[in-house]
Amino acid sequence: MARVRIENLKKYFGEVKALDGITLEIEDGEFLVLLGPSGCGKTTLLRSVSGLESVTSGKIFFNDRDVTNLQPKDRNISMVFQSYAVWPHMKVRDNIGYPMKIKGHSKEEIEKRVKWAANMLNISELLDRYPSQLSGGQRQRVAVARAIVLNPAVLLMDEPLSNLDALLRVKMRSELKKLQEELGVTTIYVTHDQVEAMTMGDRIAVMNRGKLQQVGTASEIYHKPVNMFVAGFIGSPQMNFLRAKTVSDGAKTILKGHGVDIPISSDPGLEEVVVGIRPEHIGLGKGEVSFEATVFFIEKLMSSTIIHATLEDGKEIVSMIPGDHEFKNGEKVTMSFSTEKIHLFDPKTERRIET
């Protein structure tokens, strides 16, 4: 068990800044998810913590021990790889027990812990098989069992569910989360899947272009995204962004853009702003802020319907409403949203404006 502290970590591959000054603290026993698009540096950050990647500058501490320049084997970490990396020339039993064998534990102790770990992952009956005789899901369980057999200080997971089919992924998601809570092991989990991030992480660290964008709980990141990147990356379908001009007549302030007028209570202090509104917050019918839109495409998920429509000046807007609805292409609909649900951003810095 350990608290992980990362200080101003940088990793350059030639001109490419894979990590550009990451500072992050992970509490003891916390489940932290690194979330971001491909190439954002999340895997590089994980590999830097593991020691498989050396860093250009900055420091990594486990509790108060500086591990920045230690070899992976001296960091007391374990890892679940994307490809599972279950050694094909060893039986499941030997795969799980190998970390203990390397560290010189006695045979009885290894046997005991292997049984315990296999039991945790429900793979007791597979111990005498070779990995080639296992399915992808079973191999993954072996990889996790191997990772927990030795009470690591930090458990690292690199997109462990991305190679599983959709059904199994949902099942493993909750199982892994439960397992982590039971063991209380500090965990860093890399994924590009926001559903995984939302459901599993105690906190989520959103990354882009080698920089941390926002670190917070799922709720904080969803309700108070700090910039347009986080706002657009979290949530599906993506948040609508409308450019609007601020018109103030002293008593009240109205944001005007794309033919939609949004009255707000406090002046953002900028002539122009970007208004963000999530599709699930735009409903049908009249409301606080209403507007007309022309439907051009719908996606029916049955539990909900995603409406793609255009505003009067041609700007596309997406709405998601619960239930199964039918629309014709070209049909005119009235939509509305509540001003409580909008997010304001500075168009130049793309940062959130608090109102």
Q: What residue ranges bind other proteins (CB under 8 A)?
A: 50-52, 71-73, 77-79, 81-83, 85, 87-89, 98-99, 102-103, 146, 150, 156
Smallest gap, in angstroms, from Cβ of residue 131 to other proteins? 11
Q: Select 78 or 194, whichever has its Cβ closest to other proteins.
A: 78
Q: Where are the alpha helices (DSSP H) in the chain?
A: 42-50, 92-102, 107-120, 136-148, 166-183, 194-200, 218-223, 228-233
Q: How far is the CB of 30 from other proteins (least distance, A)?
A: 20
What is the distance in angstroms between the CA of the first residue and the CA of the last residue of the chain? 41
Q: Which is nearer to other proteins, 105 or 224 (CB)?
A: 105
Please report how close the Cβ of residue 190 comes to other proteins at its closest, in angstroms.
14
Taking the complex as a whole, the smallest distance from the CB of residue 157 to other proteins amounts, in Å, to 12
Give the residue with the Cβ less far from other proteins, 1 or 85.
Answer: 85
Q: How far is the CB of 195 from other proteins (least distance, A)?
A: 25
Nearer to other proteins, 129 or 341 (CB): 129
Looking up tokens 């560290």 gives 103
CB of 143 to other proteins, least distance (A): 8
Closer of 102 and 195 to other proteins (Cβ):
102
Q: Do residues 287 and 311 touch, judged by C-beta distance below 8 A?
A: no
Smaller CB distance to other proteins: residue 164 or 255? 164
CB of 147 to other proteins, least distance (A): 8
Name which of 52 and 306 has its Cβ closer to other proteins. Answer: 52
What minimum distance in Å lies between the beta carbon of 81 and other proteins? Answer: 5
Nearer to other proteins, 155 or 215 (CB): 155
Residue 223 CB, nearest approach to other proteins (Å):
37
* 3-state secondary structure labels for all residues of the chain: CCCEEEEEEEEEECCEEEEEEEEEEECCCCEEEEECCCCCCHHHHHHHHHCCCCCCEEEEEECCEECCCCCHHHCCEEEEECCECCCCCCCHHHHHHHHHHHCCCCHHHHHHHHHHHHHHCCCHHHCCCCHHHCCHHHHHHHHHHHHHCCCCCEEEEECCCCCCCHHHHHHHHHHHHHHHHHHCCEEEEEECCHHHHHHHCCEEEEEECCEEEEEECHHHHHHCCCEHHHHHHCCCCCCEEEEEEEEECCCCEEEEECCEEEEECCCCCCCEEEEEECHHHCEECCCCEEEEEEEEEEEECCCEEEEEEECCCCCEEEEEEECCCCCCCCCEEEEEECHHHCEEECCCCCEEECC
**CA dist., res. 3 & res. 117, Å (int):** 24
- Residue nearer to other proteins on the CB measure, 146 or 343: 146
